[in-house]
Amino acid sequence: MGFSFELMVFGSTIAALIAMVFLLYYFTMDYRRNLLGESASSLSKEESNLLLSKMRREISFSAFFMDDSKSIGVRYLITSIVLFFIGGLAGVGMRISLWFPNPSFLTPDQYNILLTAHGNIMLYGFAIGTILGFGYYLLPSANKIEKDTLGVVKSIMYWLFLIGAVFIIFSKSTATWYFYYPLVDQLTEAGGGTYSFATLIGVTLILLATTVSSVIFLKMVFLDRSKSIPLSKISMFSWSIVSAAVLVITSAPVSMIANGFLIYDLINPVFFQASNGAVLGYAIMFWFWGHPLVYIAILPAFGLIYEMLPKYAGVPIFSYRAGVFSLLLLMIFSAVVWGHHLFNSGLGTVWDLLFSTTSFLVVIPSAMSVFNWIATLWTAKHIRLTVPMLFVLNGIVDFIIGGIVGVYSADVGLNAFIHGTYAITSHFHWIFIGLTAGIGFGAIYILFPTLTGGRTYNVPLAKVHFYLNSVGTILMSGFWLVGGFAGMPRRVAGYFGIFQTYQDVAAIGGVILGIGFLIFLVNFAYSAYLPAKVDVTNPLEDEVQAI
Amino acid sequence: MNKATPIVLLVVVLIVAGGSFAWFLSVPGGGISYQQGSYNSTQVIVLYANAQGWNYNSSNPNPTLNEKLHTLLEFKVIEQDGLPHTLTIAAGPNETTNSNDWIVNVVIPTTVGSITWVNWSFANPGLYTYWCTVHPYTMVGKLYVNGTANSTSSSPSPSAVQAPSSGLLTSIIQHQNSGTYEMADSNEQVW
């Protein structure tokens, strides 16, 4: 095989990014002076970082040249929005191609590349990126931190995250987001999957960045928190980040080790040989991280719902303690259910039953949170249906539907039938679009005055975005669900003609979703272009009335 | 916030997302851009996917299939050895197994005895190469499509294409009734 254009692009991209890291240091002081004035040069870097982290900060490209917590958060938010549109376009492309039973737009190779890119970019890029972004952005104000250290480490971890995302995009892997062994180490000359190992490197870099950032989050919450906030009063968002961070720290290293083994296997296959059955060993090592990952993707969304819901319901959350208990219980349970991804892989009946039971147990903490939200709404005198609140309500409904689909997917017998069908795709798209993406964009709306320096979003456009998002999810995931129970197989570039109705409606839903997010983008650019109208305070960071 | 920032962000998102999408789609072989030709008859060709039965070398090539233009070729590929195989046909006439430009590339299931149907109707005459991408040195053969294309086509004229010597074609018999090509003795030389 020839080392060709792709590797050249890799090399030059990495060289450019490394050069940027070096440039970073030289730009640092100038941008600080812009924000802090002359005092920037007299303060030490840690003191000025702390001042910057306490300011209301807006989206700007100068954030890429500063290393205080809020700048890092802004960097992650910008990056994850860009990655969201890359992954989203891949998803819409797949939907359009599946309009007819026979592939009319994409070859199977191209379909597999889009499938892998969509999964990897959305999970590792967008979901983790928004969590790190909101974590870095909101934790300093939520906990009124007393020092903001390790700026260089945070900055380097961001660049590793970005390089990882670039690797994933350039690899054109076809190994899907769990890259099982024989597939990921194949080096075929032509078609997709030529550089699947580059995805491994990219994902490992992202996992490294996530793990180190999680340690920094725990440090920020438990060590740097202001003494005025006792542990029993820290915000629900901080608790959700804590539970997600603990999950990352306990499970991501396992996946990093497995990825290291895979990269070694590329050169000298010893670890995951098919002959000794160790391929299943890789699957186990992957899902030991892979299942916690999906909880890492939704736990911060839970925390944001707990923060946003009371602002528009006008009452405090119904039970703070039940909420914290539910988040911590979710953290514990989600670490012991990974086997339900391998029901059909031959773990054995006893293990299957164990993982089936633990998967059913996850209902308890999830329902605790859902009933907590419902009780909060129940006790409210006046609920204001603003755009962020609409996203929150839609997220709760989507979570209930997707969660229930997930619960009966945990039945071992039923799982054998629906595991390879669109029912599973439907299950996690209800939750990911409703919670991870929906609450993420809802939080961007609630933070809009702060993020754009005093602008307000265009409410009619934002409502159009919301309704398209909601209707698109229902059409796409709903018809996937029905088709999945009729046996419609997932991850294929074509399908049997009897499923065309489901696929066509899902394609319409996917296109509607895409249009909705484009409207968000237009709304963002249009509203932020207009002159500033309001104060830069926002209800997630300040004691102000939510708008 | 600088006024230019949201505009720059919008442009960056559009360029990066569109560029990535184009990058994802830019695999060898491209999109589905090859059109099948019209046909007025069909022809079934039975191929046995068995790596042992195909032994290509310069003195003993695998048999060349002679087909007419305007015929829908229905390849019936029967898996025999449980190994991964593909049926791949290069897009242009006179291309070899080094080509990355394919009109047909179907992965054959490894279940022994499974039958995979692959249909294709050539739009242009010429001498095509068909092979298995897993075993490109042994499981390779030629497919001669004979006939006259439409006048608007820019394909090489039929006279420019040398009809291959049909050395082993005698081992292929044509069934009188079904119009099926099949090896005379599949135990002796399966392919």
> For B127-182, what is each residue's pLDDT tens digit?
888 888 888 888 888 888 887 655 443 333 333 333 333 333 333 333 333 334 44
The H-or-E segment that residue A29 falls in is helix A5-36
Lowest-pLDDT range of A94-108, A118-132, A363-377, A403-417: A94-108
Do residue B17 and residue A93 have CB atoms under 8 angstroms apart?
Answer: no
Shortest distance, CA A174 to any CA of chain B (angstroms): 10
Neighbours of A294 (CB within 10 A): 19
- Residue that is written with structure tokens 């809009």 in the block: A448
Q: Is A12 exposed, middle or buried (0-12, 13-18, 19+ CB in 10 A)?
A: exposed
Q: Which B residues in the span 60-119 are in contact with A, Cβ-Cβ below 8 Å? A: 100, 105
| Token pair in block for residue A410 | 């945990």
Quick check: B12 contacting A, CB < 8 Å? Answer: yes
CA distance linking residue A45 with residue A47, whole number of Å: 6
Architecture of domain B41-149+157-183: Sandwich (2.60)
According to DSSP, residue B53 is labeled G
Residues spanned by CATH 1.20.210.10 within chain A? 1-50+62-234
Higher pLDDT, A461 or B187: A461
Identify whether the C-beta of residue A113 lies closer than 8 Å to the C-beta of residue B31.
no
According to DSSP, residue B36 is labeled P
Three-class DSSP labels, A397-459 = HHHHHHHHHHHHHCCHHHHHHHCCEHHHHHHHHHHHHHHHHHHHHHHHHHCHHHHCCCCCCCH
Annotate A158-182 with DSSP letters as a single string. HHHHHHHHHHHHHH---STTT--HH
Smallest Cβ–Cβ distance between B9 and the set A78, A114, A191 belongs to: A78
CA distance linking residue A515 with residue A469, whole number of Å: 9
Check: complex ipTM more than 0.90: no
3-state secondary structure of B109: coil
Q: Which B residues in the span 24-43 are in contact with A, Cβ-Cβ below 8 Å? A: 24-25, 27-32
Identify whether the C-beta of residue B146 lies closer than 8 Å to the C-beta of residue B137.
no
Do residue B6 and residue A453 have CB atoms under 8 angstroms apart?
Answer: no
Give the homologous superfamily in CATH for domain A1-50+62-234.
Answer: Cytochrome c oxidase-like, subunit I domain (1.20.210.10)
Do residue B1 and residue A453 have CB atoms under 8 angstroms apart?
Answer: yes
pLDDT tens sequence across A354-378: 999 999 999 999 999 999 999 999 9
Q: Which residues of A touch B133 (CB under 8 A)?
A: 188, 190
Spell out a b/e string for A107-137, using b for 16 or more CB atoms within 10 Å of the CB, else e: bbbbbbbbbbbbbbbbbbbbbbbbbbbbbbb
pLDDT tens sequence across A248-295: 999 999 999 999 988 888 777 788 876 666 788 888 999 999 999 999
Question: What pLDDT, on a 0 to 100 scale, did the predictor assign at position B129?
Answer: 86
CA distance linking residue A382 with residue A390, whole number of Å: 14
